[in-house]
């Protein structure tokens, strides 16, 4: 009887020793990410431009002695980027002239939650995520897909190619994990406390956008010389306007053709379907000199300028030169405005 008792005691001790060994068996857990691409392309000059970019995060645990389980609690952080200048609401991209383009990154498709980073005084809201996966003898892992939702809002625009690089400290994955073999693992309290700390990693990307050279929102007013005597003895001057909105730094030239009734380079208004005409001229300067006659030949007699991103108004200076005479009636002409940019 004494020999049997000794053997049973040794067996119990051996099992206890094995259980102790298994309960302390740990393997390092690592989490890494692919790089997203946040490319807005050519943005809208009249409204918002939305894009989304997906990337994956993979958490991997080496094999444990027995079938096990790993739970990971994670924070995915995005800061302001190398060109951000500390701007978060909104973030910004820059072109080669350091003109800013406002944009924002969100964690949700409704674009209501700005994607920030843990500990930020202005945007303290990283994307939070949990991983939970089995770890068989040969190791286990889990892959999760995340989406960055980007928006360029309506704003005053300047033409150019814009970018902001989110590298180095500007993206980070913080995580802590718990591994278990005999019992289910427990989630750490947060990505910064509890469990075992993982080695931080990143998901670097570049946000980019192109603002096109563009002119739009064209408006014109009629040039009305009013009522004049049949014999024009002195010059009659009036003005009209051309309005447009061009993106900043957009070089433009505005040309005016000679109308529908010109005789050579002399503009003329016509009395209905008759052969009666009244000569007139258009200029881009109030002095109305021949040197400022407004024509339609690029780089010669067009009117040139640069967009500002807001509405611009150009004045057309018209003149009925004297002397000339005309039959009574209503005279008119149609001028075509051409905007080159």
pLDDT in tens, 290-338: 999 999 999 999 999 999 999 999 999 999 999 999 999 999 999 999 9
Mean pLDDT (the chain) is 92
Candidates 2.60.40.1090, 2.40.10.120, 3.40.190.10, 3.40.1160.10; CATH matching 215-340: 2.60.40.1090
CB atoms within 10 A of CB 217: 12
Per DSSP, the three-state class of 73 is: strand
**Please, which residues have CB within 8 angstroms of residue 118's CB and are 6 or more apart in sequence?**
75, 77, 124, 126, 174, 191, 192
Percent of the chain with pLDDT over 90: 87
* H-run or E-run covering 4: helix 2-23
pLDDT digits (tens, 9 = 90+) for 22-67: 334 457 899 999 999 999 999 999 999 999 999 999 999 988 667 7
Domain residue spans in the chain? Answer: 26-211, 215-340
Collapse the DSSP code of 328 into the 3-class scheme (helix H, G, I; strand E, B; otherwise coil) and give the result.
Answer: coil
Mean pLDDT of 245-251: 98
26-211 and 215-340, same CATH topology: yes
Residue-by-residue DSSP string for 122-171: S---PEEEEEEEEE-TT-EEEEEEEEEEEEE-S---B-EEEEEEE-GGGE
Going by CATH, does the domain composed of 26-211 fall within 3.40.50? no
List strand residue ranges (DSSP E) for 221-263, in order: 231-232, 236-246, 251-256
Render pLDDT for 58-114 as a digit per residue (tens, 0 to 9): 999 988 667 789 999 999 999 999 999 999 999 999 999 999 999 999 999 999 999
Residues pairing with 3 in the sheet:
none
Is the model more confident about 203 or about 63?
A: 203
258: Cα separation from own chain's centroid: 42
Query: Are 201 and 32 a contacting pair, CB within 8 Å?
Result: yes
User: What is the value of pTM for the model shown?
Assistant: 0.87
18: pLDDT strictly greater than 80: no
Residues 115-135: what's their mean pLDDT? Answer: 97
To which residue do tokens 């002397």 refer? 323
Residue with tokens 């024009």: 232
């Amino acid at each position: 009887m004494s020999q049997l008792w000794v053997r049973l005691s040794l067996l119990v001790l051996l099992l206890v020793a094995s259980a102790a060994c298994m309960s302390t068996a740990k393997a390092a857990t690592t989490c890494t990410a692919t790089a997203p691409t946040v490319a807005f392309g050519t943005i809208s000059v009249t409204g918002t431009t939305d894009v989304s970019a997906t990337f994956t995060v993979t958490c991997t645990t080496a094999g444990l002695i027995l079938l096990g389980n790993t739970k990971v609690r994670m924070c995915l952080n995005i800061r302001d980027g190398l060109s951000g200048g500390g701007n978060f609401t909104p973030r910004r991209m820059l072109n080669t002239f350091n003109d800013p383009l406002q944009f924002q990154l969100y964690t949700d498709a409704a674009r209501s939650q700005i994607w920030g980073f843990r500990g930020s005084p202005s945007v303290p809201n990283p994307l939070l995520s949990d991983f939970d996966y089995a770890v068989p003898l040969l190791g286990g892992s889990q892959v999760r897909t995340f989406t960055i939702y980007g928006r360029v809002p309506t704003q005053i625009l300047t033409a150019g190619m814009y970018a902001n690089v989110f590298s180095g400290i500007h993206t980070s994955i913080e995580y802590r994990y718990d591994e278990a073999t005999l019992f289910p693992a427990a989630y750490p309290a947060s990505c910064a406390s509890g469990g075992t700390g993982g080695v931080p990693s990143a998901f670097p990307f570049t946000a980019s956008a192109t603002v096109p050279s563009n002119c739009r929102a064209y408006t014109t007013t009629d040039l009305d010389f009013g009522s004049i005597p049949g014999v024009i003895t002195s010059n009659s001057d009036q003005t009209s306007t051309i309005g447009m909105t061009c993106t900043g730094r957009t070089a433009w030239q505005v040309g005016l053709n000679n109308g529908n009734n010109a005789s050579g380079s002399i503009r003329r208004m016509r009395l209905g379907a008759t052969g009666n005409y009244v000569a007139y001229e258009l200029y881009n300067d109030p002095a109305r000199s021949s040197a400022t006659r407004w024509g339609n030949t690029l780089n010669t007699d067009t009117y040139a300028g640069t967009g500002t991103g807001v509405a611009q108004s150009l004045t057309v200076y018209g003149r009925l030169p004297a002397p000339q005479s005309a039959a009574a009636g209503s005279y008119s002409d149609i001028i075509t405005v051409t905007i080159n940019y």
